[in-house]
Amino acid sequence: MDMSDLVNDPLVKFQRAFYIPLIILIWGAVPTYIPYYLWGESVWNAWFVCVMLRYTAVVNLTWCVNSAAHMYGMKPYDGSIVPVEADMRHYLVGEGFHNYHHTFPWDYSASELGWMDAFNPATAFIDAFASIGWAYDLKKASDDMVKKRQTRCGDVHYKHKSRFMEHLTGSFVLTLPVWSFFLLRMNVWLMPVVVVVILLVGNQPNGFSRKQKVK
Ligand SMILES: [Zn+2]
C-alpha cells in the first residue's frame, strides 16, 4: 500500500525521528510530574499509579480485543470462525463487533449498525472525518450481502440490543473513570463491580443462554 503521503508528512516525520524521547516524555515523565507538582503527590505514587497502573490497564483492555472478542459472545454472521460479537464489546470501544469484523474485514465500520443504532465510537470518529472530507471511499457491506451470509453461515435469530440499552451502556463505559473515581473515594468499592456485572448480563444479546443457534 502506498503510504508515501503519510510518511512524508512533517508531523509524522517529527514523531518518527524523536520516537523514544517523545515516549519518555509523554508516556512517563509528564503523567508522573503533574500529580507531583500540582497536588504534592510523592514521585513513587505518581509513577506507579499514573504510569504503571494506567499502562497496565490500557494495554490489558486493548489486548481484550484479541482475547474476549474471540471468546465470549454470539456468532451471528459466521458460525465457523472463532471471533464473536463480544459480550463486553462496549468496553472495547468499537472493536467488539468481532464476528462481523472477521466476516467482512474490509467494512470500515466493523459492524452492520452505524453509531446511532449501536455504541460504536470508532465508526462515529470515522464518520465525523468523512463528513468534512478527510476520510473517503468508505467500504460497507450491503444489507443484502449481510443477510445472505448470515443465512448461509450464521444465525439469523440473532437479536440486536435496543438503541437505549446500547447508549446507556456506552455512556456508562465512557464515563467509567469519572464515576469509579468518586465511588472509590466514597469507599463503595463493591458498587462498580455490581454495575459492571449487571450491565454485562443485561447486554447478553439473546438473554442468558450462550447456546449458539447455528443451522
Ligand atoms: Zn480478531
CB 189: neighbour CB atoms within 10 A? 10
Q: How many CA atoms lie within 13 A of 91 on its CB side?
A: 22
Check residue 205 and give its pLDDT. Answer: 57
Bridge partners of residue 97, in order along the sequence: 85
What is the DSSP secondary-structure string of 112-172? SS-TTTS--HHHHHHHHHHHTTSS-S-----HHHHHHHHHHHS-TT--PPPHHHHHHHHHH
Q: How many A from CA of 102 to the centre of ligand 1?
A: 6
Distance 155 CA to ligand 1 centre (A): 19
CB atoms within 10 A of CB 135: 14
Give the side-chain half-sphere CA count within 13 A for 2. Answer: 1
Amino acid in position 87: D
State the CB neighbour count (10 A cutoff) for residue 125.
14
Report domain extents, the chain.
4-66, 71-202
Q: Which residues fall within 8 angstroms of residue 199, CB to CB, at 6 or more apart?
A: 90, 169, 172
Per-residue pLDDT of the chain (215 residues; tens, 9 = 90+): 888 999 999 999 999 999 999 999 999 999 999 999 999 899 999 999 999 999 998 888 788 777 878 888 888 898 888 888 887 777 776 678 889 999 999 999 888 888 888 888 889 999 999 999 999 999 999 889 988 998 888 887 777 777 888 888 888 888 877 877 777 777 676 777 777 777 776 666 554 444 444 44
CA-nearest of 48, 115, 97, 125 to 203 is 97
Question: Could you tell me the distance, in angstroms and rounded to a whole number, from the CA of residue 195 to the centre of ligand 1?
Answer: 27
For residue 31, how far is its CA from the centre of ligand 1 (angstroms)?
A: 31
> CA-CA distance, 65 to 91, in Å (whole number)?
10
**C-alpha 71 to ligand 1 mean position (Å):** 10
